[in-house]
């Protein structure tokens, strides 16, 4: 199996650049999809308290036979739980059947007055070893600067919507300058997979337009976490390591941006 590229999040933590998204997967379907994803080679699972599938993720991981340390697990603090960080993380750890998560994210920015206190609590719980690293989701660069100003610590990751139509060079550059790794979500849902630029490039490489979109994220150093409940797609979405895009192809996809 080809090695999954990783992003260095500091402190010895490495984020596998292709992960499995689990939003809208629940019950048996969540269990079976995550099981299949782990069989297909994914070593990074993205869940959240809000998704209500942490328990299914833990069962799939247990039954996979993989060691806990082989799989990178992300979960997230729901918007309504600002001020209840410790209790919420403890519940996630119980549901996930683990002593630590690899990445804990603030799912959405809390109200302005809570933004720095929540982040301080995240850093404290990380320092206790309950999360190997911490980050945010759906934050603007200005909100990230608020965190850095308040604590001196930038989030390791910002998980935001990302796709060719949402490509934003400034956000990419400004995140990089602050040492924040971008993780793109809803990469496929937000893309016209029938666009001639994507179908043309896909044909040239003998892959699908979805694989081109996922590979384009990697070419930009952006982690990507596609979700599917269909085994063939779960496998295909992971199979993006055996081809690469030329700089010209990447630039043509960048120009699909509607920003
Ligand atoms: N932090 C946040 O606020 C936030 C918000 C949204 C999402 N996320 C995370 O990001 C993950 C991915 O985002 P997402 O689930 O919104 O969207 P996505 O992964 O872009 O798209 C999922 C949709 O695309 C379909 N699909 C999957 N593979 C495909 C393929 N190869 N070809 C064509 N269609 C395909 C899926 O259908 P089938 O299942 O039928 O294949 C599903 O309808 C989520 O699962 C979640 O973990 C985070």
Ligand 1 binding pocket mutation candidate from 48, 228, 229, 236 (most atoms within 8 A of CB): 228
Residue 225 Cα to ligand 1 middle (Å): 8
155 touches ligand 1 (CB under 6 Å): no
Residues 44-80: tens digit of each pLDDT: 999 999 999 999 999 999 999 999 999 999 999 999 9
- List the beta strands (DSSP E) in the chain: 6-8, 14-16, 20-21, 44-46, 72-77, 101-106, 131-137, 157-161, 181-185, 223-224
The residue contributing the CA closest to ligand 1 atom 38 is 228
Q: 3: pLDDT confidence band, cut at 50, 70 and 90?
A: confident
Query: 7 pairs with which residues across the strands?
Result: 15
The one catalytic residue among 31, 42, 51, 139: 51
Kindly state the tokens that stand for 133. Answer: 């690293």
Q: Residue 98: pLDDT band by 50, 70, 90 thresholds? A: very high
Q: How far is the CA of 161 from the CAs of 48, 90, 165, 217, 225, in angstroms?
A: 16, 27, 10, 12, 11
Please report which confidence band the pLDDT of residue 258 belongs to, taking 50, 70 and 90 as the band edges: confident
Q: Which residue minimizes the CA distance to atom 37 of ligand 1? A: 228
The pLDDT of residue 253: 98
Q: Which atom of ligand 1 is nearest to the CA of 137?
A: 1
Task: Return the CA Rg of the chain.
Answer: 18
Q: Would the CB of 245 count as within 6 Å of ligand 1?
A: no
Threshold 0.85, pTM exceeds: yes
Dihedral of CA atoms 245, 158, 20, 108 in degrees, nearest 10, equals -140
51 among known catalytic residues: yes
1 band by pLDDT with thresholds 50, 70 and 90:
low
Is the pLDDT at 2 greater than 90? The verdict is: no
Q: Is the CB of 164 under 6 A from ligand 1?
A: no
Q: In what order do the strands lie in the sheet with 72-77?
A: 20-21, 44-46, 72-77, 101-106, 131-137, 157-161, 181-185, 223-224
66: region left, alpha or beta (phi > 0 left; psi from -120 to 50 alpha): beta
Residue 76 DSSP SS3:
strand
Is any ligand 1 atom within 6 A of the Cβ of residue 74? no
Measured in angstroms, how far is the CA atom of residue 227 from the centroid of ligand 1? 4
188 CB near ligand 1 (under 6 Å) = yes
Tens-digit pLDDT profile for residues 170-210: 999 999 999 999 999 999 999 999 999 999 999 999 999 99
Sign of CA dihedral 19, 25, 31, 36: negative
d(CA 109, CA 112) in angstroms, rounded, equals 8
Ligand 1 midpoint to CA 23 (Å): 7
The structure tokens listed for 106 are: 């603030």
């Amino acid at each position: 199996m080809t090695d999954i590229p990783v992003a260095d999040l500091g402190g010895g933590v490495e984020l596998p650049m292709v992960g499995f998204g689990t939003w809208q997967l629940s019950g048996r379907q969540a269990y079976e999809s995550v099981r299949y994803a782990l069989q297909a080679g994914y070593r990074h699972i993205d869940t959240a308290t809000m998704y209500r599938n942490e328990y299914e993720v833990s069962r799939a991981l247990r039954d996979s036979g993989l060691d806990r340390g082989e799989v990178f697990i992300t979960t997230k603090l729901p918007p309504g739980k600002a001020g209840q960080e410790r209790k919420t993380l403890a519940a996630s750890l119980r549901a996930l059947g683990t002593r630590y998560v690899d990445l804990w994210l603030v799912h959405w920015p809390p109200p302005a007055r809570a933004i720095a206190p929540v982040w301080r609590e995240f850093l404290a719980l990380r320092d206790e070893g309950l999360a190997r690293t911490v980050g945010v989701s759906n934050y603007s660069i200005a909100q990230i600067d608020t965190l850095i100003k308040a604590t001196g610590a930038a989030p390791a990751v910002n998980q935001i919507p990302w796709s060719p139509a949402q490509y934003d060079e400034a956000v990419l550059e400004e995140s990089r300058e602050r040492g924040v790794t971008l993780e793109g979500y809803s990469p496929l849902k937000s893309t016209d997979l029938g666009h001639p630029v994507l179908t043309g490039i896909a044909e040239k490489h003998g892959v699908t337009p979805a694989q081109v979109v996922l590979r384009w994220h990697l070419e930009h150093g952006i982690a990507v976490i596609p979700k599917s409940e269909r085994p063939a797609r779960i496998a295909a979405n992971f199979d993006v390591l055996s081809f690469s895009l030329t700089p010209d192809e990447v630039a043509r996809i960048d120009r699909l941006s509607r920003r």
